Structure 1
């Protein structure tokens, strides 16, 4: 299925902390993961530093990477649905799920992400090799 793309993405506005509200489970993501979030930081060269974090069994798992536009001349970007707060209004969530269903996604597989105790903004832990998923932010 072809994913609809975002046009004219404002990277400065997109940068910062985002919380995962729901996801399609991935074999790379812990089944017991909570407080999942992503932080995007603009780099001087136009790329974006990506830090994905989740907490499972009291330990922080994380992965860092760099994202860039697959076609620098294009104004298109593919993004996952996230929220600036750990919780989303239920009516907004239902509207987004319905929109995903209309786009052809099997929303029965969608799993809400728990945020029982969001860690502080500046949470830093030793690098514990938290191997889990990397999802494409930009590109095809």
Structure 2
């Protein structure tokens, strides 16, 4: 295994594609939450809920990939940001799951302040994980 390539190499293309789904769909969920809060049209909450589920499906692939990397590394912390990436992946998956439960509620209580804050935090965690993944000193690609 070439350690220099692991530290500075780009992410595997499939992993980069999987990482795009949570970013795009959490962004869409946030936009539809704002649309609901401005218009009070109930269909926006349904759209948000489906976008969050889609983000979680894409995020599940990223999470499994990340989990395989952690196991393959022997649970040794890396100094190149890999563990922060793994933690952020776990955080956006958990926040997204709680957000999905929140959006499954009825009417105003499905979005409100809690749903909006969860959508923002999910998106920020996904953006942080993607930033670390694509940065030169980012997460190691042990599965390549």
- Output the TM-score relative to the length of structure 1: 0.26
**TM-score normalized by the length of structure 2:** 0.26
